Chains A and B, each alone.
Chain A
């Protein structure tokens, strides 16, 4: 559909960071505390590729998607659209939203319940200047592309008349209406019935391949990331802790957090895993901003982890981990020098 070659970087974030200041413990006059929701994230979305961002609630994955769609302004960092630096001080432009679209988790909340489906599809088209006489044809086209046929039958309905799976397809169709090059999907299947999830997941993959879309798929379900993604990124407390361009991140995870995540997925093939030891609850321990953020929960934490930010090390081609366990000797000695001096 678009003329960009497959694999070209369409949207790139460099050192993207967002901090929120919140009231600390101890009432109204307590000192403000900084929450580092997203910290120093580098991510590139390429035409025809799906990047999965995996993390638990509070890992910053949704804040990242809001920054990429420019709903939340970053504290610092740079954003490149089609290789050009985006002026983050400026208002988000129509030109930006035409290229980058966000699909949200809950279709029942994302689509106006008192207006018909036509309204939902028509709005972005009208706002982005599709001539009135072409709107209907275009609406039919996008509904067909998400396998809702015959389209007119859906356009005449109201959201409550559709099932969750159908409504999520409408939600995706709305995102695709203005023909964006980049689609950010924030937990698009987690609210859906289990039997229709895979259908929506297959649809996203198919759209990505057919339209050469650059897609970011945000999820807490690491198995679905393995199913759909070309690159998988695991986030913990605002940082990318491990990433890989193949399934090795799930088949042979390096970072202790990814290992914990993979081990926690119910796995009837391996019933012994249900007795596996688990890490303490994140909320009761808080994060360690001095050293590795996972160190309070990490079963393998060493002294170096508590006081020093772990470096990012490439453990295999296309597979990197932010952990002292996988750090090179050079990276370790760099720290001991700085400690001494």
Chain B
């Protein structure tokens, strides 16, 4: 594996739905970098812009979605022989060369992603043939079997139609297809949300293993924060199109800094400990068409102050580790104390021992 370089560099990325006056900003000033063979988790509710973000980055966005601002640089290749692509300036032809070979995507519903009229084998064959026209039919068949074995499926699945397979098997096939051309970056958009918890566990441990073997970078989108803590190196939490917090996975879980992150974590009843009443987050998710002034989360926030209702908090480092949060509570220029539950200490690397 190469030395850590940034495979993806995103600056001030914005996506609007619609034009002009009626435009709704679904992704707002998102900036992040993703190191090669790292896992970035994106958490958020529906409407938070997490899917729109990755559709925008990969230029899969459909009208009326428009990328209104930003820069996206995708870099591949080993140290000294790196190629950088400006994904937003790339032509259809450039994108065709990058997609699947270098960036692949797994969507939530495997049933609608697979053609119901085709056997699985034909789907594999098409992908492999399109990207290597000189390959022989036999070599493609062999590669398809190899890919299925990678995700724990027998070769006889190649002769099946999608409806003959279970949801978990179909999602495994989507993962195998996404890895077919050994991409450097795999994007997973809620790949396990439609699955049962046992199947989800199987797929997640398989992903974990595959990533260890193949070393691809991954962006994993889900609303399930606990799942992300298991998988991701770093987590971004999105709310109303903005990143509200970004930190190393275990830091985020053990010591959240943004009230929304804390609320999200308290929205999942725990599996252990005393049974006590939890409150979740009051109110309803925001309507992007009429966002409140100031911090978008302020109407639902238990800690909201006057400034929160009038002025938008910037995403800034909140401690010496460089983790980011967009919340006025952590701004030292305001005279108030940070609530204790948002100021927990977490010692890095405890679980690595």
- Which residues does A use to contact B, with CB under 8 Å? 56-57, 163, 165-166, 193-199, 201-202, 220-224, 226-227, 247, 250-251, 260-269, 271, 274-276, 278-279, 281-284
Contacts and interface: CB of A to CB of B under 8 A. Distances in A.
A220 B198 CA distance: 10
Q: Which 4 A-B pairs have the closest CB atoms?
A: A198-B280, A283-B166, A227-B269, A264-B201
Contacts of A268: 226, 229-230, 250, 253
A57 B198 CA distance: 11
Given A196-B284, A198-B279, A57 B196 contact: yes
21 contacts: A56-B196, A56-B197, A56-B198, A165-B284, A193-B45, A195-B264, A195-B267, A197-B267, A197-B280, A198-B267, A198-B280, A202-B278, A223-B270, A223-B271, A251-B272, A266-B201, A271-B351, A274-B230, A278-B202, A281-B169, A283-B168
Contacts of B135: none
A281 B45 contact: no
Nearest to A297: B198
A281 B166 contact: yes
Name A's interface SS: helix
A271 B352 CA distance: 10
B198 A199 contact: no
A226 B269 contact: yes
Residue from the set A56, A199, A201, A281 with the largest chain B CB neighbour count within 10 Å: A281
Given A195-B285, A198-B280, A282-B198, 16 more contacts: A56-B196, A165-B284, A194-B224, A195-B267, A196-B280, A202-B277, A202-B278, A223-B270, A226-B269, A226-B275, A227-B275, A266-B201, A268-B229, A269-B271, A276-B201, A279-B198
B303 interface: no
A220 B45 CA distance: 20
A276 B197 contact: no
Contacts of A226: 269, 271, 275
Nearest to A221: B197
A202 B269 CA distance: 11
Contacts, number: 129
B68 interface: no
B166 A282 contact: yes
Contact of A247 (B201, B230, B275): B275
B201 A278 contact: yes
A274 B208 contact: yes
Nearest to B285: A193
B46 interface: yes
A117 to B, nearest CB: 16
B282 interface: yes
B95 interface: no
A269 B272 contact: yes
Nearest to A54: B197
Nearest to A275: B205
A203 to B, nearest CB: 11
Contact of A223 (B196, B229, B269): B269
